[in-house]
Amino acid sequence: MNTFEIDNKYIAQTYKRFPVTLVEGKGSLAYDDKGKEYIDLAGGIAVNIFGYCDEAWQSAVCAQAGQLSHTSNLYYTQPASVLAKLLVEKSKMSRVFFGNSGAEANECAIKLARKYSQDKYGEARHKILCLKNSFHGRTLTTLAATGQDVFHKDFKPLTPGFVHCEPTKEALNEALKDENICAIMMETIQGEGGINVLSKEFVHEAYYQAQKRDIILIVDEIQTGLGRTGEFFDYMNYSIYPDIVTVAKGLGGGLPIGACIFGKKLENTFAFGDHGSTFGGNPIACAGALSVVERIDEEVFEGVKVRNKIITDSISISPKVKEITGRGLMLGIEISGDVDKAVAECLENGVLVIKAKNKIRLLPALNIPFPQLTKALAVLIKAINES
């Protein structure tokens, strides 16, 4: 049996995979089992932040794997402690809880917000206000937070206590008439929703209302965080200070890890036993994440902005491109042609891209070499024009 046949027989068929078996990768290049080379503009959905098998990441992970692999959270470990310190310093917040994924980070954020509010205002004040077209994960609770009915189908009843509004100032203020709202949860750029950038007017109003009403502001940076939009976190592009930030994907550089980072208002909300995770803060995952985070600096931010200009300047020339949305190296391309055909054509010609709703989605490594980026864009533009 080949890989396709084994997968189809033994793995739950929840993914519609591309007909390719990847076996090796280095930097922004991946290779399949037939030796074909691909330039990756998808980055493992924003995970391979410095590409495949980045040398600094690989050295850190291998060294830690040979030293201490797992302990549980009943003991201190240096990688988790140092990583938490660095994340707090970068975000100017107070504490970190480590989990294994973005969904777990968001679950932690929801629990934290509810506990803060119920400790202070009572159990009735428990609702989380989320946005339509948002995506926060696939657990029953993060599905409830997600503002897309397509993900809710077949899984009801979902966790109660979530309401949704359009990302407009008027809709927000109408929703906040409910005095039992304890938190506002949002992505500043909606990823799975189609790479939709929230307006500054809306984000600033949400921040203002959260402060005014002592509502916890949660910013989901699972996909936008860690330099992808030209700042360490995308909320920094709006000059706001959320109460909670969640991050995952690129944090581990290829290993599963998520983090819920929270500010001073919440630093003592959780007590012993209030939350936990067996694998959260795993030394190997944290060592890999530490090698990623300590290298995200102004040089990386500038490189992201330069690559953004190269991409947008090149792609916008195509007459079939209707709109380019997003920021930095998180971009959505809406075209007048067939998106699926364009994605398939890119794959056939050695470039990996993915979709977000009706758009081609680009999430390349932040350090993708310029010659590879230029070559991949030529393939992408041809695919768009022929779609």
**47 lies in the same domain as 66:** no
Final residue in a domain of this structure, among 251, 277, 293 = 293
**270 lies in the same domain as 142:** yes
**274 lies in the same domain as 323:** no
Per-residue model confidence (pLDDT) at position 1:
81
CATH code for the domain in which residue 368 is found: 3.90.1150.10
pTM > 0.85: yes or no? yes
Per-residue model confidence (pLDDT) at position 5:
87
For the stretch 98-124, what's the b/e string if a residue is b when 16 or more beta carbons lie within 10 angstroms of its beta carbon? Answer: bbbbbbbbbbbbbbbbbbbbeeeeeee
**301 lies in the same domain as 245:** no
Name residues of the chain where pLDDT drops below 70.
Answer: none
**183 lies in the same domain as 322:** no
CATH code for the domain in which residue 192 is found: 3.40.640.10
Final residue in a domain of this structure, among 247, 262, 293 = 293
Final residue in a domain of this structure, among 265, 293, 321 = 293
**325 lies in the same domain as 279:** no
Q: Per residue in 291-320, pLDDT tens?
A: 999 999 999 999 999 999 999 999 999 999
**77 lies in the same domain as 24:** no
Q: Per residue in 32-41, pLDDT tens?
A: 999 999 999 9
Tally of domains in the chain: 2
For residue 358, give its domain range.
3-53+297-385
Per-residue model confidence (pLDDT) at position 190:
97
